[in-house]
């Protein structure tokens, strides 16, 4: 990685190198979990995921990869419904909490302390039928997002689905945060964006559904 490449900072300070961006994102997430579950980790499985698993035309249980599983609420939910679940999360404290939650629930998702943009470095081989991302990609520094998309694509079964919740661009002061339908259509070569549904949050949010060609 070229440390000379930089991006602007919302506070107007010195531009951050790519490595500094990654370190800042990790520190930001770790700070949230030191103080308790962050606001996006509600402990409730979102109805959008429930609809895929239990609703009309529900997906047959298969293999699922969750990107940024937090304290494990949704990994446990999927495992309880017969899915073979692998999850990756960047924050060690979150991983430890999720493993305890899974053990108490009597399920065994494989929960890995890992970077969702570096899946080749961990035992998270595919193919997977379902990918779930609850506000993971929208916080990843832009220079790592192509690696995220490539990692998922290499592990996707034909017809696999990616269900993603993301904050829209402009939701926060950080100009690098957020994700849009246009970005997903560009980055995820070989996937079709089949649905974009606005969220109900005070700031712009969206549920995106993509299907692997």
Question: CA dist 72 to 68, 97, 104, 183, 207, Å?
Answer: 9, 8, 12, 27, 20
Residue 41 in this model has a pLDDT that exceeds 90: no
Closest CA to 85 of 69, 71, 70, 104: 69
Q: Which of 21-35, 55-69, 85-99, 189-203 has the lowest mean pLDDT?
A: 21-35
Partnered with residue 111 across adjacent β-strands are: 87
Whole-structure pTM value = 0.88
**pLDDT tens-digit profile of 89-136?**
999 999 999 999 999 999 999 999 999 999 999 999 999 999 999 999
Question: CA dist 123 to 108, 136, 155, 192, 209, Å?
Answer: 15, 19, 12, 27, 25
Question: CA dist 4 to 15, 23, 33, Å?
Answer: 10, 15, 31
Residue 26, phi then psi, degrees to nearest 5: -65, -45
Q: Confidence class of residue 38 from pLDDT cuts 50, 70 and 90?
A: confident
C-alpha to C-alpha distance for 168 and 180, rounded to whole angstroms = 6
pLDDT for the residue numbered 21: 82
Q: Which of 63-67, 151-155, 173-177, 191-195 has the lowest mean pLDDT?
A: 173-177
Query: Do residues 63 and 130 lie in contact, with contact meaning Cβ atoms separated by under 8 Å?
Result: yes
E strand or H helix at 97, and its extent?
A: helix 92-105
The average confidence (pLDDT) of the chain is: 89
Averaged pLDDT, 15-21:
77
Q: Confidence class of residue 66 from pLDDT cuts 50, 70 and 90?
A: very high
Q: Residue 10 CB: number of other CB atoms within 10 A?
A: 11
pLDDT for the residue numbered 16: 67
């Amino acid at each position: 990685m070229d440390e000379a490449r930089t991006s602007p900072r919302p506070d107007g300070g010195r531009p951050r190198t790519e490595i500094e961006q990654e370190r800042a994102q990790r520190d930001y997430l770790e700070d949230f979990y030191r103080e308790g579950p962050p606001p996006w980790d509600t402990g409730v499985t979102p109805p959008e995921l429930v609809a895929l698993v239990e609703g009309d035309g529900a997906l047959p249980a298969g293999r699922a990869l969750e990107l940024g599983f937090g304290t494990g609420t949704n990994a446990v939910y999927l495992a309880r419904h017969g899915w073979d679940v692998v999850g990756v999360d960047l924050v060690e404290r979150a991983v430890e909490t999720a493993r305890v939650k899974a053990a108490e629930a009597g399920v065994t998702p494989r929960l890995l302390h890992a970077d969702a943009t570096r899946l080749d470095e961990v035992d998270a081989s595919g193919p997977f039928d379902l990918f779930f991302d609850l506000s993971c990609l929208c916080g990843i520094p832009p220079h790592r997002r192509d690696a995220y998309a490539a990692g998922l694509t290499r592990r996707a079964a034909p017809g696999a689905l990616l269900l993603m919740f993301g904050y829209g661009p402009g939701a926060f002061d950080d100009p690098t945060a957020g994700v849009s339908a246009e970005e997903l259509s560009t980055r995820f070569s070989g996937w079709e964006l089949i649905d974009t549904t606005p969220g109900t949050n005070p700031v712009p949010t969206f549920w995106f559904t993509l299907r692997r060609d």
